[in-house]
Amino acid sequence: MITFESVTKRYAGGTIAVDDLNLEIPDGKTMVLVGPSGCGKTTTLRMINRLIEPTEGRILLDGQDVSQTRASQLRRGIGYVIQQTGLFPHRTIEDNIATVPLLNGWHKAKARARARELMDLVGLDQDMGRRYPYQLSGGQQQRVGVARALAADPPVLLMDEPFSAVDPIVRATLQDELTRLQGELHKTVVLVTHDVEEAIKVGDVVAVWYPHGKIAQIDTPERLLGAPADDYVENFLGFDRGIRRLAFFAAAGLDLETETVLSADVTVELARQAAKRAGASWVLVTSAEGQPRGWAALTELESASGGGTLGQLTLAPYGHTFRVGEDSLRAALDATVLSRTGLAVGVDGEGRAVGVTSYERLRAAIHGAEEAADHEGARAS
Amino acid sequence: MSWAWANRDLIGHYLVQHLYLALVPVLFGIVVSIPVGIMCVRYRWTWPPILSLTSIFYALPSLALYLVLIDYTGLTDWTVIIPLTLFSLSVLIPSVVDGLRSVPQPVRQAATAMGFGALRLTVRVELPLAIPVIFAGLRVATVASISLVSVGQLIGIGGLGYFFTDGEQRDFTTEIYVALILIVILAFLADGLLVLARRWLTPWERGRSARDRRRVFSAAFHGSRAEGST
């Protein structure tokens, strides 16, 4: 647990970077500090490992005032990742990662073995161990940065805009990797970013900052999107927060249409009846194993001979699918919007069609999920 | 050539003296400029006066200095070594300062955040990363020093410069040319050795493009002087 007790940072000249901050950062969670530049989020982060000293107030790490620990000692127990990686250009990847273990007096062989372990952990090829940082891509360098911060297995990891300097595709991968790592390691992570999407994606808890040193709201990403504390937060989150919030609701809550999912060897006549019973204008045709093959339109069914099978018809492409067990309502909605038929296919882990969506069914699921979340939120607060 | 062969012992003697007189000042220069450079970077206010001082060293006519020093150090090697040391300082101190400043800020910050103390940061991170720029200065200082030694001949201590005055007095140009060529060869060899040493010391620079290195090199020459003149 990291605790800020009435912490203020005032610079010479009177600029207040952080204004009377009280904040508790829970153990084993990812807390994201997000806000415009100059809001005090980075200053806050750097006060934890004493790169910046507060003007007033105390910062406690597990109940211990950080100013009472020798700075270099304190820092070796806190991982630190920065945007420009700050890798040592003159040291190999292996030695870069082994930096803190070596500072702690480990033998070189043991430290290097640890470095290789970490390269595995962050998804780097061990062959890269002997290379120098400039020989790696930006994304790989950032992985090295994370590995280096984790080398001495510190309980706390500070990340200052760690993914801002890489391209969007690499950034998304690194964000996913961080979520995966955190699922294994359960570090206390404090991550600073100006990217609200990133905050919502990787944070367990998100603190949104006003422009000048104060926090506007601290909440889970879902609650933040569902109930912004004020206009500032709402604006900061962006215009489509309603849709983005759906990312936190499981698609499993959708009541899918299963009647109109039919195997290719079913007769046209039976399909016609099923479509009419369901009031649907499309049926989904699947292979015998259940894999989706395409859509058959009701008009097509009516003009075809009733004795033939669905497999003989010309099918429209089945379009986008979503995984019922893993994806969110946002993915289901997205697949539905992208689908030419206005219907999307929900599949199971093996890719077999489970059922199809419709806007009506989505609406019902979204409504139900939001109601449940608001109820939960009201109870929590 | 037959003259050179016949006088190989004499040439050898002056060659050794020449190298000694040229390299000792560079050695002193590097030993002094590293701590001074570190100080100038750590305590920023010390840099402008020291930069001015190095500019004076640079501009000082060594001949004048020889004549002043001769009253104190007499006709000893020191009379040549001291002015050349001052000259090499004028090149090396700015190189060390530029080199230390060329260390990227994020690298310094990351090292601090990982628990490097000030001394460890300087020795393990900043100095190794400053090597390319420091070596650029070292090459200039060494080559210049090798060529400047011969000026010492005006007070009778000039290494291979002996053959310049001797050749002139005897109206015998061969020995002037031989000494000249030897000095140029020495300078080239010393420069080449320094390039090799730099490569050996900085394995992380090997794959980098030549353009990157030229940038470092030109920073070594122009960086501080340009900054000082503004």
**Cβ within 8 Å, pair A73-B116:** no
Average pLDDT over every residue of B94-121? 93
Domains of chain B: 2-229 (1.10.3720.10)
Q: Please report residues of B whose CB lies closer than 8 A to that of A84.
A: 104, 106
Over 50: is that where the pLDDT of A37 sits? yes
Q: Does B119 touch chain A if contact means CB atoms closer than 8 Å?
A: no
What pLDDT shows up at residue B68?
82
> What is the residue extent of each domain of chain A?
2-248, 252-366
Q: Which residue of B has its CA nearest to A154?
A: B114
B228 pLDDT band, cuts 50/70/90, is very low
Whether the pLDDT of residue B33 is over 90: the answer is yes
Name the nearest CA neighbour of A286 among A318, A254, A308.
A318
pTM comes to: 0.79
Please count the residue pairs, one from chain A and one from chain B, whose beta carbons lie less than 8 angstroms apart: 68
Q: How confident is the model at residue B214 (pLDDT cuts 50, 70, 90)?
A: low
Q: Which residue of B has its CA nearest to A131?
A: B204
B104 touches chain A (CB under 8 A): yes
A252-366: CATH topology is CBS-domain (3.10.580)
What pLDDT score does B215 carry? Answer: 54
pLDDT score at A380: 62
**% of chain B residues with pLDDT over 70:** 89
Give A381's DSSP letter: -
Distance from CA of A169 to the nearest CA of B (A): 24
B106-111: average pLDDT: 94
> Over chain A, what is the mean pLDDT?
91
Q: What is the pLDDT of residue A319?
A: 84
**A193, β-bridge pairs:** A34
Q: Does residue B204 belong to the interface with chain A, where contact is any CB pair within 8 Å?
A: yes
Please give the average per-residue pLDDT across B11-39, as a whole number.
Answer: 93
Whole-angstrom distance, CA of residue A23 vs CA of residue A7: 9
Whole-number pLDDT of residue A244: 84
Are A80 and B113 within 8 A, CB to CB?
Answer: yes
Q: Provide the pLDDT confidence category of residue B126 given band limits of 50, 70 and 90.
A: very high
Cα–Cα distance measured from residue A144 to residue A121, given in angstroms and rounded to the nearest whole number: 10
pLDDT one-digit tens code per residue, B139-157: 999 999 999 888 888 787 8
Q: What are phi and psi of A209, to 5 degrees?
A: -100, 145
DSSP codes of every residue in A158-184: EEESTTTTS-HHHHHHHHHHHHHHHHH
Q: Is B110 on the interface with A (CB under 8 A)?
A: yes
Hunting for tokens 């990742």 — which residue is that?
A: A81
Q: Residue B9: its pLDDT value, please?
A: 85
pLDDT of residue A7: 96
Instruction: Kindly give the pairing relationship between strand A215-219 and strand A205-209.
Output: antiparallel
Helices B8-42 & B47-59 angle (0-180, nearest 10): 160
- Is residue B224 predicted with pLDDT exceeding 60? no
Question: Same CATH fold, A252-366 and A2-248?
Answer: no
Dist. CA A23–CA B158, nearest whole Å = 73
Tokens of A316: 């429209």
CA distance B49 to B25: 22
Q: CB of B129 within 8 Å of any CB in chain A?
A: yes
For domain A2-248, the CATH class is alpha beta
User: According to the model, what pLDDT value does residue A379 have?
Assistant: 67
| Closest among A194, A238, A200 to A219, alpha carbons compared | A200
**ipTM of predicted complex:** 0.78
Does the structure show a pLDDT above 70 at A200? yes
Q: Kindly state the tokens that stand for B214.
A: 């030229």
Q: Between chains, do B104 and A132 touch, taking CB under 8 Å as contact? A: no
User: Min CA distance, B208 vs chain A (Å)?
Assistant: 8
Both tokens of A302, joined, read 């009516």
Name the pLDDT band for A216 (thresholds 50, 70, 90). Answer: very high
Which residues in chain B (141-180) have CB-CB distances under 8 A to chain A? none
Closest among B198, B213, B205, B145 to A90, alpha carbons compared: B205
pLDDT (average), residues A133-160: 93
Rounded mean pLDDT of B34-50? 94
Residue-wise pLDDT for A81-140, tens only, equals 998 889 999 999 999 999 999 999 999 999 999 999 999 999 999 999 999 999 999 899
Joined together, the tokens standing for residue A65 give 């005032």
User: Model confidence over A246-300: pLDDT tens digits?
Assistant: 888 888 888 999 989 999 999 999 999 999 998 888 999 999 899 999 999 988 8
- For residues A80 and B114, the answer to whether their CB atoms sit within 8 Å is yes
Distance CA A211, CA B56 (A): 50
Crossing angle for the helix pair B47-59 and B78-101, to the nearest 10 degrees: 140
Pair of tokens at residue A38: 């100059």
